[in-house]
Amino acid sequence: MATNVETVDSVVLRFAGDSGDGMQLTGTQFTNTSALQGNDLSTFPDFPAEIRAPAGTVAGVSGFQLHFSSNEIRTPGDAPNVLVAMNPAALKANIGDLKTGGMVIVNTDKFSERDLEKAEYEENPLENGSLEGFQVVEVALSTLTKRSVEELGLNNKESDRCKNFFALGMTYWLYNRDMSVTQTWIKGKFKAPYDQANLKALQAGWNFADTMELFHSSYEVPAAKLKPGTYKNITGSMALSLGLVAAGSLAKRQLFLGAYPITPASDVLHHLSKFKDFGVVTFQAEDEIAAICASIGAAFGGSIAITSTSGPGVALKGEALGLAVITELPLVLINVQRGGPSTGLPTKTEQSDLNIALFGRHGECPNPVLAAATPSDCFEVALEAVRIAVKYRMPVMLLTDGYLANGAEPWCLPELDSLKPIDCNIATEDIADGFRPYDRDPETLARHWAIPGTKGLEHRIGGLEKEDGTGNVSYDPGNHEHMSNLRAEKIQRIQADVPDVEVYGDTDGVGLISWGSTFGSVRTAVDAARAEGMKVGHVHLRWLSPLPANLEQTINGFAKAGVAELNLGQLHRYLSSEYLIDMASITKIQGQPFKSSELIAEIKKLS
């Protein structure tokens, strides 16, 4: 044990290495351990578009950032305190982000000339003074790992594979973590002799840190004072999937997912395919069009129908979505946004699909749009999307993004009793007499959901304009105007279900307006700015269409409002058109989330 144990509030740690170095796994282990130690935390993995980009190159670097704290936190952190760099490429790709004075642990075994060349380093950064100002911890990770597993008779490649556990052991020592979670996990995951090898490497890393007195001190990050409850660390994809499964249960109907794999949305398909015991049907379709069409078919058939995709897939689904709009069938389209346009930056995050969500269909073809704010919020948003789709009989667009999908945070598990049942209000035989498929609930304007198989409710729907009430094809000019207005009106009726926005912080100073995954960075920045004495408020939108009823008034209350988003100003444009209010547009479009520091700078500009 180090003589010195310091207590710190928060730590940002980043593991970086080759795609094959197991960094995601290492990060996840550190996360789970810290979660069980009671820290609040937030994580963000960042991987290359290639499956295994050429080893040793910057393009092939895979990273995992983890923010753990004894306070409440909302982002994976701006700048790491500690960087573990498994090779020169990882160093090169990440050193720019490290906090001044931060620590970087490097694997000196991978700094041969060839390694440097692959990373396109002209000279060895460990030797040319370029790392001045950082605490550089040089460790012959590969050699030490190899030595630690020597007795197991692994070959070179096999023993080298264990070095991530050696590094993990070192960081566990550094932050006084309990190794048992990872040890148990290794035993369950690996077959002999690899289980033993990984266990040995882990322990060796710990021991090495302990005995070599590599570090000035080790650190304690005490448990956070979180709201009482049962917690689980969860990614946005998993929370979203659980939300959908819960929605199916609460609606007492089969959940149907039609999907075609696409980064970063595929995990929704992967997760839901494991819920067959809930009767969940997942259909991996031949393409995105078939996926949404099958979902609409399932909705017609009475399922809670979902289709999930990312940008290019959303573009393909537009035509079919229009059919769901005109046939007024419930459907949830999940868009896990990624960097665009076109194929763009598939593994990076962005919020640039708000335009297509609101306006991306031909004709007057409105649909509700809502967005999740944090990984665990995905659970609630999924429930809400289904609830609205079913209640108002229309397709709902749900936006998340790569950052939310892959990022994780502790989720305070909901009491099951607190989850309200979803009333599907399905048409029954009893109303067969005089049944008309487009008769409506006067309040919600929802039409009947009459499911094939129900006696006496036989009817036909389709994409040609329909006569209100009967649902028959109609070319009548007045009816078309009526129906166009009605479809728009249905969206407005949802406002009844959309709570008013509440301003966090000051209502009359600078107001930041945000939506989606920027919640954490904006809220953190607002807290920081207020701590510095600035007068700042924050409004975060879950609902984009319809907008909350009091939003205009709220924005007007601010001395100066700014709209922060990861695109070129799509929400800003939309709110401008709605309210004709002059607001600042705060944007970033680099495939990466906002840093709180960037936002604080913007707040200062507006103050």
Partner 1 sequence: MSTNEEAVTYKKKDFMSDQMIRWCPGCGDYSILSQVQTVFAGLGIPKEKFAVISGIGCSSRFPYYMNTYGFHTIHGRAPAFATGLKLANPDLSVWMITGDGDSLSIGGNHFIHILRRNVDIQLLMFNNRIYGLTKGQYSPTSEIGKKTKSTPMGSLDHPFEPCAVALGADASFVARTVDIFVKDLRGVIQDAADHRGTSFVEIFQNCNIFNDGAFNDVTDRKTRDETVVFVKHGEPLIFGSKDGPRKGLRVDKQFRLEVVEDVDPENPGDEILVHDETNPVLANLLARMRPPYPVAMGVIFRVKRATYDGGVAEQIKTAQQVPLAGDLTKAIYGGNTWVVD
Sequence-separated (6 or more) residues with CB below 8 Å from residue 253 = 302, 303, 304, 424
Q: Does the protein bind ligand TPP through residue 344 (CB under 6 A)? A: no
Helices (H), 37-178: 88-94, 113-118, 141-148, 156-160, 163-174
Lookup result for tokens 């459907």? 331
Contact with ligand TPP (CB under 6 A): which of 260, 392, 519, 574?
260
Contact with ligand TPP (CB under 6 A): which of 86, 262, 422, 584?
262
Q: Does the protein bind a second copy through residue 316 (CB under 8 A)? A: yes
Of 51 and 192, the one with the shorter C-beta distance to ligand TPP is 51
Minimal distance in Å, beta carbon 50 to ligand SF4?
7
Number of residues that bind ligand SF4 (CB under 6 A): 2
The residue type found at 14 is R
Q: Does the protein bind ligand SF4 through residue 252 (CB under 6 A)? A: no
Task: List the one residue out of 232, 270, 301, 306 whose CA is nearest residue 36.
Answer: 232
Q: What DSSP line would sit under 417-448, residue for residue? A: GGSPPP------GGG-TT--TB-B-TTT--B-
Of 22 and 322, the one with the shorter C-beta distance to ligand TPP is 322
Q: Does the protein bind a second copy through residue 463 (CB under 8 A)? A: yes
Minimal distance in Å, beta carbon 55 to ligand SF4?
12
Task: List the one residue out of 200, 268, 235 whose CA is nearest residue 28.
Answer: 235
C-alpha triplet 106, 145, 204: angle, nearest 5°: 95
Of 60 and 505, the one with the shorter C-beta distance to a second copy is 60
Strand partners, 504: 538
Task: List the one residue out of 603, 422, 419 whose CA is nearest residue 529.
Answer: 603
Q: Does the protein bind ligand SF4 through residue 59 (CB under 6 A)? A: no
Reply yes or no: is the peptide bond before residue 452 cis, omega within 30 of 0. Answer: no
Minimal distance in Å, beta carbon 264 to ligand SF4?
17
**β-strand pairing of 369-371 with 543-545:** antiparallel
| Chain residues 357-416 in contact with a second copy, contact rule CB under 8 A | 358-365
Task: Choose one: 107-115, 158-166, 297-305, 496-504; the region binding partner 1 (CB under 8 A).
Answer: 297-305
Of 454 and 576, the one with the shorter C-beta distance to a second copy is 576
Q: What DSSP line would sit under 182-217, residue for residue? A: HHHHHHHH--TTHHHHHHHHHHHHHHHHHHHT-SS-
Q: Does the protein bind ligand TPP through residue 261 (CB under 6 A)? A: yes
Q: Does the protein bind ligand SF4 through residue 276 (CB under 6 A)? A: no
Q: Can you tell me the distance from the alpha carbon of 139 to that of 86, in angstroms, rounded to the nearest whole number?
A: 10
| Chain residues 430-489 in contact with partner 1, contact rule CB under 8 A | 451-464, 472-473
In degrees and rounded to multiples of 5, residue 104 shows phi and psi of -125, 125
Burial 62-95 (b: 16+ CB within 10 A, else e): bbbbbbbbbeebbbbbbbbbbbbbbbbbbbbbbb
Q: Does the protein bind ligand SF4 through residue 192 (CB under 6 A)? A: no
The token pair at 274 is 């494991």
Helical (H) or strand (E) element with 6: strand 5-7
Task: Choose one: 113-121, 128-136, 163-171, 460-468; the region binding a second copy (CB under 8 A).
Answer: 460-468
Minimal distance in Å, beta carbon 60 to ligand SF4?
12
Minimal distance in Å, beta carbon 467 to partner 1?
12
Minimal distance in Å, beta carbon 598 to a second copy?
12
Enumerate binding residues for ligand TPP (CB under 6 A): 260-262, 288, 312-313, 316
Enumerate binding residues for a second copy (CB under 8 A): 48-49, 59, 311-312, 314-316, 318-319, 322-323, 325-327, 339-346, 348, 350, 352-353, 355-356, 358-365, 462-465, 475, 477-478, 480-481, 484-485, 487-488, 567-568, 573-574, 576-577, 580-582, 588-592
Enumerate binding residues for ligand SF4 (CB under 6 A): 51-52
